Structure 1
């Protein structure tokens, strides 16, 4: 099977936030002292993009950008004119699809009223709010800087500005949270009528404040009960689950994240950003990531030192990398997509595939790769079966 170039997306990392949350293991840096050099950083982002396009050559140049995602950190710390400057610069370098989805992550405690108009004018057509909970006590325990009332006000302000495509991030299995509390968060979110809801279980990640001093969390059985109950409530409200943690109104799935899960390509721009690029001519899948610390990244200013690592994904790693993404999708992926996205023959996954079907983890369908309900519950075990 020949490797085919999949859709190409653009991920842009904005590394600063007001305050580092105790559960967060992302490459984010709390504000200290002087404001960060936001304008200078945008210049470095464009220099990074130029350098990547030069390095990747025909594998990247001229390919249409299907989606853009500003992640962080807290991208809404950047003024709309700076977001516009980057998007204008990116469009001058690469063609954007006519229906290109452009998402900006925002936290309710960091956006001044009236800024949403500016982001919309800059070309951002989708907002993702990091709300996590509508319970003020739980927000304090999570180290969030906003209140439930501020979260609701921020979402309504964005809607008043003209935004029709909004995601709300929620967490469940929070410190000392009950099932009723988890459902109450979902109800408050539904009252705001977003087009998309991301619903994540709080987990203790290594090298975080919560990992060092774990809070009292619900046990696995209670967490599973919360997931099932909230999942059912979202379904009743018309939000289809299309990925383990993602629910959307019809036609409102996140195009950028779908590209990740379907093993698409993406350029990773910014401090600590990761990218993946398929070179159809060479038959290789390549991963590149940037140096993590914002100051070191900016000092490199598009030079070789901005690269934290760069490698071709080996044939023995590709099955696991592919399944790590594709099997998160509730409806799965076409079976023949594996060959197009990896360049490997179907036999490369035949043994673990047959074993997963035998265990009841995957649906027995030669045309489709899809987990069963049992496979979804034990997804980590299913994916691990494809490790070399």
Structure 2
């Protein structure tokens, strides 16, 4: 029987100072910058917060009576907005949806777009977790990645997060960068570890479609170097007490794992508001799981009627196994087997033959109580996931709710 999973909220703020050449998220560079005594950004901040609140109100009937488990404010660069605007937004959400007592509220922040007072203001607004987009501490690699900050600003960002009293913060770090050596990758990781973040997101650069890097590919390290980086980096993280719990996520303790992303990976529900945001909502009244999307371009999102900026469609039953497994099998420990039936409404028998074949092939461990990839399955995750693609070979669209989400 279909049951309601935990409910999260994703809020998308689509503007950034510069579009990075590797980024395939819905982000838009700010075209007009005013310079007086300090840099100011020409953003429709008040209008956008107003529209986010309207957007949330439009979604509320789908989730009456449910409590919020987590909030993630992603982008773009949400830290371009003022603490006052984010305080108004979080207060508006709290007035419309009850919060769990231990709700996690995360915001993405870039080192080049803040100052110490702003970090304290975000904390006072109720944001209790930051995800800081460092990517590298190497000046040359930062320039190649199109980042607007330097290594010193990246280090200062972590120090400010500690000083501002955040319950937890994540450093977002890439490896496999253009011409990167094993030594350079480990230097980046070592610097991050010395800054004592509670959580590290460490993932390999990939060349995504519709990005400048895909059109003009840089010279990336050879597969042998990438393998050496991965092995040495995982050993270094483990040595310093960072436990891997997902393909690219490492935390100092289970308590410090990203609650919001864990809800994604366990096929939880989430409302998505903001330009280009996606959502996934269980509709017990209809016996269906729905996918929602919002208009991508900020102008369309701001200027359309509240009803016209959203689409809401049921996920076809034959796509649900792949949608569920796509994220659940990224988790090192997998998920309890009974979650599949609870959160999709489908009997386990509908995929039992596929599961048992994967066990026989050494890609999954015993499925009696847990859907968990084996060491081999984690290594060949794409091959494992492909087994759950619908038999007509119709893959979910690129923007599907459980594919396109901001990490950590």
TM-score class normalised by the smaller sequence: over 0.9
Which runs of no fewer than 5 residues in structure 2 stay unpaired?
34-41, 391-408
Q: For 1:222, which of 214, 220, 225 is the aligned residue?
A: 225
User: Bigger CA drift: 157-166 or 286-295?
Assistant: 157-166
Deviation per residue, 1:24-66 (Å, 9 max, x gap): 0000000101512011100000000011114x2xxx0121000
Deviations 1:134-187 (A, max 9, x none): 101100010000011110011111211212411000000000000111111110
**Counterpart position of 2:37:** none
Superposed CA deviations along residues 250-286 of structure 1, whole A, max 9, x for unmatched, are 1100000000000000000100000000012322100
**Aligned equivalents of 1:39 and 1:289: distance in 2?**
22
Displacement of 1:223 in angstroms is 1.3
Structure 1 position 133 matched with structure 2 position 140: no
**Which residue of the other structure, out of 248, 252, 261, is the alignment partner of 2:256?**
252
- Per-residue CA deviations over 1:214-258 (Å, capped at 9, x if unaligned) read 000012232122112111111111111000010001110000000
Equivalent residue for 2:9? 10
CA contact (8 A) 2:186 2:232 kept: yes
Per the alignment, residue 406 of structure 2 pairs with none
Q: Which residue of 1 aligns with 2:277?
A: 273
Q: Is the 8 A contact 2:365 2:371 kept in 1?
A: yes
Q: In structure 1, the residue corresponding to 2:91 is in which secondary structure?
A: helix
More off after superposition, 280-289 vs 242-251: 280-289
Tell me the residue number matched to 1:170.
173
Query: CA shift at 1:370, angstroms?
Result: 0.4
CA distance in 2, matches of 1:248, 1:274: 26
Question: Equivalents in 2 of 1:324, 1:220: separation in Å?
Answer: 24
Q: Aligned equivalents of 2:236 and 2:324: distance in 1?
A: 31
Paired residue for 1:325, among 324, 327, 347?
Answer: 327
**Which residue number in structure 2 is paired with residue 351 of structure 1?**
353
Distance of 1:16 and 1:36 partners within structure 2:
8
Question: Would you say the 8 A contact 2:135–2:142 is kept in 1?
Answer: yes
Mapping of 1:161-200 within 5 angstroms?
A: 161-200=164-203
For residue 265 of structure 2, what is the aligned residue in structure 1?
261
Within 1, Cα distance between the matches of 2:116 and 2:104?
A: 23
Match of 1:305 in 2: 308
Unaligned runs of 5+ in 1: none
C-alpha distance after superposition, 1:320-365 (max 9, x if no partner): 0000010000001111110001000011111211111111110124
- Of the structure 1 ranges 18-27 and 31-40, higher mean CA displacement relative to structure 2 is found in 31-40
Mapped to 2, the partners of 1:242 and 1:154 lie a distance apart of 25
Counterpart of 1:48 in structure 2 is 55
Q: Distance in 1 between the 2:205 and 2:86 partners?
A: 30
RMSD: 0.9
Report the counterpart of residue 72 of structure 2 in structure 1.
69
Separation of aligned partners in 1, 2:124 and 2:215: 43
Using the alignment, how far apart are the partners of 1:38 and 1:385 within structure 2?
A: 45
Which residue number in structure 1 is paired with residue 365 of structure 2?
363
- C-alpha separation in 1, matches of 2:26 and 2:168: 26
Which range moves more in the overlay, 357-366 or 170-179?
357-366
2:20 aligned with 1:21 = yes
Partner of 1:287: 291
* 1:147 matches 2:150: yes
2:355/2:367 contact within 8 Å kept? no
TM-score (norm 2): 0.92
